[in-house]
Amino acid sequence: MKKNTLFLPISIVVFFCCCSLFTSAQTNPKKEKVRYDTIIVKHVTTTAKKPPPKPVAKPEIVIPIPEFINQPSYYDKEGNKLIKLENATAQMITKKKTLGLQGAKQFLSMDAPASKIRFTAKKDIVFIIKTSGDDIDLTSYVKLYMFLPADQKREVTINAKEGVLNDKDAGKGKLISISIKMLSKDNYMIQLPEQIEAGEYGFVWVKNMELKEFNVFGFGIDWKSSD
């Protein structure tokens, strides 16, 4: 009986099948898909906000103080300095006209028709005065008068009494209203009206009206022709 060579033993066939499957699994393994979570972030360049610039504080101006008490000085704002006024003496004169029929007047008279100390300004005319600290209300005894030239002198009427006959020349000059502001203890600022006439002026101490002589701190105001 001839052997059939075309048929292999079953064990061999099974062996080859297993090897084939094993090789196929090695060469073509099933790869598991890897999933990635993708987050897209937009890159934004941020510039830190600068704090608003702090306002530059102006340096505080320290107003100078007069060296001597009860002597007003003109305050030059541009130069931040004090300018001394004319220190003069005025005589208190009482005069009757026509035996009193035209009245009587008391007036202050001092030498020279004009002061050598002069200022050119329209407004913000300011003076600084230092006191001894004894006086509470400066306006009670510090007066500012406008003097008028008269016979090579400067005069201002303090008191005038009308007589039976009118006298147009009874009053000369006038009292100027001032305002006083405290700067510090014993130091004050004297402010003049915004509009003041050109002419001759003087600060007078009238605390004791019985005196025959008074200290006057005089000055003149001039206007520029272009003003």
Q: What is the DSSP letter of 190?
A: E
DSSP-derived letter for residue 62 is: -
Provide the whole-model pTM: 0.67
Structural domain containing residue 215: 73-222
Distances (CA, A) of 185 to 60, 115, 143, 180, 217: 19, 31, 21, 13, 22
- Write down the residue that tokens 């329209």 correspond to: 122
Number of structural domains the chain divides into = 1
Instruction: Please measure the distance between the N-terminal and C-terminal CA atoms of the chain and give it in whole angstroms.
Output: 154
Contact 185, 202 (CB under 8 A): no
Classify residue 208: in a domain, yes or no: yes
pLDDT at residue 163, as a whole number:
45
Residue 122, amino acid: K
Domain presence at residue 55: no
Judge contact between 73 and 82, C-beta under 8 A: yes
d(CA 214, CA 208) in angstroms, rounded, equals: 9
**Residue 16: enclosing H or E segment and its boundaries?**
helix 10-27
d(CA 153, CA 148): 8
Look up residue 18 and give its two tokens: 């297993």
Nearest to 128 by CA among 61, 207, 209: 61
Length of the chain, in residues: 227
215 is a domain residue: yes
pLDDT at 167: 44
* Residue 60, in any domain of the structure: no
Q: In this structure, what DSSP letter does residue 126 have?
A: E
Provide the greatest CA pair distance for the chain.
194
In a domain, 94, yes or no: yes
Q: How far apart are CA 197 and CA 148, in angstroms?
A: 12
* pLDDT value of residue 136: 62
Q: Is residue 106 part of a domain?
A: yes
DSSP 8-state class, residue 58: P
In this structure, what token pair is assigned to residue 159? 């008191």
- In the numeric block, which tokens belong to residue 7? 């048929």
Q: What is the pLDDT along the chain (227 residues), one digit of tens a residue?
A: 444 444 445 555 445 555 555 455 455 555 556 565 566 656 666 666 777 887 777 777 888 999 999 999 999 988 999 999 999 999 999 887 655 555 778 899 999 999 999 998 666 789 999 988 765 678 788 899 999 998 899 999 988 765 433 445 445 789 999 999 999 888 999 998 777 889 999 999 887 778 889 999 999 999 765 54
What is the residue whose two structure tokens read 């305050």?
A: 75
